[in-house]
Chains A and B, each alone.
Chain A
Amino acid sequence: MTASNPSIRGQRDGASAQAAESGSGTDAEQKAADQLRQRIASQFRRSLHIRTLDTGSCAACEQEIRLLAAPHYDLHRLGLFFTPAPRHADLLMVTGPAIRAFDVAARKTYEAMPGPKIVVATGACALGGVYPSDAFMHGSVSEILPVDVWIPGCPPSPLALLQGLLVAVDRLAEKVADLTFAADGPTVEVPE
């Protein structure tokens, strides 16, 4: 497998731009949202304190988050720090499919954080993948908290988490918006 598949690099043509637009309302709103995000991100550029919240994960996402502090990835070199108390946290990494029994604790954790704050939904469960919404759980974190950044993966690797955190503070450009994941050329021999 090549490092990155050339054929999936989409261009900023109508299709993908249109894909990006369709989801988030009028242009003005989008511009205001970006402005606000830039302002928040600029405040956290050099030092960001992260608090994690497990709303029902299977423990694999937790292990990947713990590995961010391991020597191989060492998020301290990027000015990112873990902090136990939400009172001192700027960013909340939420894993798990938002189990309903956890709503009060999640709401309290979010409200204990001072503004401005960023919420990062981490892992396929938190993004609404693995589990549907039913009596046990909401199915995705955006049902209970206002999410700013989504990091897919089951579990997302520490590198994906790092990229997610840096995108959250606007120090890395977001890549996924431009990718179409639709290859048009014949990349594999078609069995007749």
Chain B
Amino acid sequence: MTLWFLRGLRRGVVTTWYPARPDSSAASLPTPPVFRADVLDRATADRLVEVCPSRALRRESDTLIFDLGACTACGRCQDAAPEAATPSGEFELAATSRAHLVKRIPLLREARS
């Protein structure tokens, strides 16, 4: 067993300091997208709703309902409309109420040119 003891000493501490300090590995994690309200019109919104495989997006008249809980951060909406959706980089998404995860993004009234 001394083999393991020495090996462990040589390996050193790998444990993260999170939550005291942010962990560097979080940067490369897939994160839900952020939607740009000033670019989103109904057509783009409908395209995004159609492309999301996990039913995380739906449109109610002129607001885009984005359910963070259902989002799997697969990035298909970012591929479909890169100008409207960009990764948020936010991975700490735990919520104490389901409503906190349902975000409402107001859409542009008139169709964009």
Contact = CB atoms under 8 A, between A and B. Distances in A.
- Decide if A and B touch, CB cutoff 8 A: yes
A129 interface: yes
A177 to B, nearest CB: 4
A74 B18 CA distance: 10
A8 B88 contact: yes
18 contacts: A3-B89, A4-B89, A8-B88, A8-B90, A19-B103, A71-B15, A124-B70, A124-B72, A128-B70, A129-B69, A147-B98, A150-B95, A157-B26, A160-B93, A167-B94, A176-B95, A176-B101, A179-B103
A23 B37 contact: no
A31 interface: no
Interface in A11-25: 15, 19-24
Interface in B67-113: 67-74, 82-83, 86-106
Given A129-B55, A181-B32, A5 B88 contact: yes
Dominant SS at the B interface? loop
A87 B68 CA distance: 32
Contacts, number: 197
B60 to A, nearest CB: 12
A151 B15 contact: no
B68 A191 contact: no
B34 A8 contact: yes
Chain A, interface size category, equals: 35 or more
A177 B100 contact: yes
A1 B87 CA distance: 8
Interface in A37-95: 37, 71-74, 77
B51 interface: no
Contacts of B71: 124, 129, 152
A2 B89 contact: yes
A182 B68 CA distance: 12
